[in-house]
Amino acid sequence: MPQKVRIALDAMGGDIGASVVIPGAAISLGRHPDTEFLLFGDSKQIETQLAKLPALKAASRVVHTDVAIAMDDKPSQALRRGRKTSSMWLAIDAVKKGEADAVVSAGNTGALMAMARFNLRTLPGIDRPAIAAVWPTMRGESVVLDLGATIGGDAHHLTALAVMGSAMARVLFDLERPTVGLLNIGVEEVKGVEQVRAAADMLRTLNLPQLEFIGFTEGDGISKGSADVIVTEGFTGNIALKAAEGTARQIGEYLRSAMSRTWSSRIGYLFARGAFKALRDKMDPRKLNGGVFLGLNGVVVKSHGGTDSDGFAYAVDVGYEMVRFDLLNKINQTLNRDSGALTPAVQGVLS
């Protein structure tokens, strides 16, 4: 029998906390019965939810703490106030101690990154981790990073993101040399801010063996799937993610409104409801939930703070899959192998 996948949950993280996290864990458990959970947070709130979910209760252990990181806490404040006592810290620490294989949190992104970096440390050659996610596109899927871990970044940072993203794409998509595009306001070489143009020059000059740099891609190139990996810094990446989610919801509302406007449209919906269900499932923004912190010595998954239990379940699924298929180790091995083969100039990019 395969070994259980042990997932630590920050039960107090997110806009709502345990009332979303615990039901979300139960949904994921239904899909992956070989999961065990460590639940960190206010035991009274957690147990109230577990009382409704006997299967999850049997697969869980609760660790009480009454300290939770607020969504508006600054990372430095969170480290000072919540280090070693908060639900977020304790969940991360469970991974460091080997008590859990992955941690999932919907809490404060900056605090989660600061605590994860402080506790788990980064891989050799990686200065600043990134949030990476698999993004559905018109031609399949792409890896997009950074989705909000680090705000801003120079050419060296963007180049390091390209290396990390290509390693993830090689493992997930079984590609020998993934294509990589830099997100920009145009495809012309003169467009964009200086650091993006400088990163493009660097990637062209280095001509890295593990990726094929195709130049700039505009915002619509993400949904088109213009590259296997789309690279941008965290500020722009997070805006792109939230804009895509909002657009999906907007189109869904338009469809619902149009389908209920007249009797003929309602009848038409009855005949085409299978197609509309497939479209709704494809556009469900909750399925985008669950970004992986690349570059750390451990599996850390960030869920959107405002998601519902179904959305949180998808983030837990990401953690499960990273562990069950050993994806993080494979990505790290790829990074380490490539770093050893690179020239000193490229190693400088990653340090």
Q: Do domains 1-125+295-326 and 127-286 have the same CATH topology?
A: yes
Work out the pLDDT band at 273, boundaries 50, 70, 90. Answer: low
Each domain of the chain, given as residue ranges in start order, spans: 1-125+295-326, 127-286
Write down the architecture of domain 1-125+295-326 according to CATH.
Answer: 3-Layer(aba) Sandwich (3.40)
Least confident of 162-166, 210-214, 264-268: 264-268
pLDDT of res. 46 = 97
Work out the pLDDT band at 101, boundaries 50, 70, 90. Answer: very high
DSSP assignment of 98-113 equals: TS-SEEEE-S-HHHHH
Mean pLDDT of the chain: 85
Domain 127-286: CATH superfamily, name plus number = Isopropylmalate Dehydrogenase (3.40.718.10)
Give the β-pairing of 5-10 and 212-217.
unpaired
pLDDT of res. 282 = 54
Q: What is the pLDDT of residues 220-248, one digit of tens each?
A: 888 888 999 999 998 988 888 778 777 77
Higher pLDDT pick, 167 / 61: 61
Residue 18 CA to residue 15 CA, distance in Å, equals 10
Q: What Å distances lie between residue 117 and 23, 111, 156, 191, 319, CA to CA?
A: 28, 10, 19, 34, 18
The three-state (H, E, C) secondary structure of 50-77, written as one string: HCCCHHHHHCEEEEECCECCCCCCCHHH
Answer yes or no: is pLDDT of 125 > 90.
no
Work out the pLDDT band at 122, boundaries 50, 70, 90. Answer: confident
Least confident of 24-33, 249-258, 332-341: 332-341
Work out the pLDDT band at 72, boundaries 50, 70, 90. Answer: confident
Q: What is the pLDDT of residues 2-57, one digit of tens each?
A: 689 999 999 999 889 999 999 999 999 999 999 999 999 999 999 999 999 999 99
pLDDT of res. 344 = 44
Residue 264 CA to residue 244 CA, distance in Å, equals 31
Answer yes or no: is pLDDT of 278 > 70.
no
In degrees rounded to 5, what are phi and psi of residue 297?
Answer: -85, 60
Q: Residue 236: helix, strand or coil by DSSP? A: helix
Work out the pLDDT band at 215, boundaries 50, 70, 90. Answer: very high
Answer yes or no: is pLDDT of 279 > 70.
no
Higher pLDDT pick, 257 / 310: 310
Answer yes or no: is pLDDT of 82 > 80.
no
Least confident of 147-156, 265-274, 298-307: 265-274
Residue 294 CA to residue 331 CA, distance in Å, equals 9
Higher pLDDT pick, 262 / 220: 220
Q: What is the pLDDT of residues 165-184, one digit of tens each?
A: 998 888 888 898 999 999 99
Residue 66 CA to residue 87 CA, distance in Å, equals 8
pLDDT of res. 342 = 43
In degrees rounded to 5, what are phi and psi of residue 302?
Answer: -105, 120
CA 334, 336, 339, 340 dihedral sign is negative
pTM to 2 decimal places = 0.82
* DSSP code for 288: G
